[in-house]
Homo-oligomer: A and B are copies of this chain.
């Protein structure tokens, strides 16, 4: 097992491009922000950008590519959007029709890529503050749930908010809130603390995406808006064609997490 944690983002992206990494990216290139991906044709780009503007907590935009370009100028110069993510999903009419480790064969000149902040960025803040991050401890993907909290619709896009969940010891809940509130570009403060049922999650042991994690006695589940929300929205809004990352399989950017803090 190579030491992905201490490799640079460019090194890890090169291994992903070469097909040597196809796993979730949590813990790779520690200290660097990871990003969610949505690729849409230009005729849907305005509605999606407006959707993101109206729903900044689940959809904090880090960068939008130029039309047709597979390259990013700001957050990952040199990256190829169509090849540098370990696993992609293609949605047709709202149905996931396949997973791929390379989507360059599907690329079109009218595609626009949206890169969206990821809660992995604030996990190092939580760890630095002494707050445990259970899915890292248990070596699995973070559990994610579709809630009953509607997003603000925009054009053809509507749907409910997806959240990620981390069990937090009661004594550390306020620390978890303040540590993440300082990072609004990666979802910011929690959207809910406590009862899963209150936000429409009927069974906390059965996440809609990712893996279940242990909630220990003396801990409460804390929920943050999640960049997988666009995938729930794509399923609900059924655009003809869209590409996303597979949950947990992110773009590793050249942006340091600390640079995503309030300034």
A190 to chain B, nearest CB (A): 11
Cα–Cα, bound, A62→B145 (Å): 28
| Contact pick for A189, options B53, B64, B263, CB 8 Å | B263
Chain B residues, CB < 8 A from A262: 181, 184, 262
Decide: B64 and A54 in contact? CB cutoff 8 A: yes
Cβ of A260 under 8 Å from chain B? no
Chain B residues, CB < 8 A from A52: 53
Cβ of A45 under 8 Å from chain B? yes
Cα–Cα, bound, A263→B61 (Å): 18
Chain B residues, CB < 8 A from A61: 53
Chain B residues, CB < 8 A from A263: 181, 188-189
Task: Name the interface size band of chain A.
Answer: 10 to 19
Cβ of A140 under 8 Å from chain B? no
Decide: B49 and A50 in contact? CB cutoff 8 A: yes
Cβ of A107 under 8 Å from chain B? no
Cβ of A46 under 8 Å from chain B? yes
Decide: A53 and B46 in contact? CB cutoff 8 A: no
| Contact pick for A46, options B46, B181, B184, B188, CB 8 Å | B46
Closest to A45 in B: B46
| Contact pick for A53, options B53, B181, B188, CB 8 Å | B53
Which residues, 28 to 70 on A, are CB-close (under 8 Å) to B?
42, 45-46, 49-50, 52-54, 61, 64
8 further A-B pairs in the complex, CB-CB below 8 A; given A45-B46, A49-B53, A52-B53: A46-B46, A49-B49, A49-B50, A53-B61, A53-B64, A54-B64, A181-B262, A189-B263
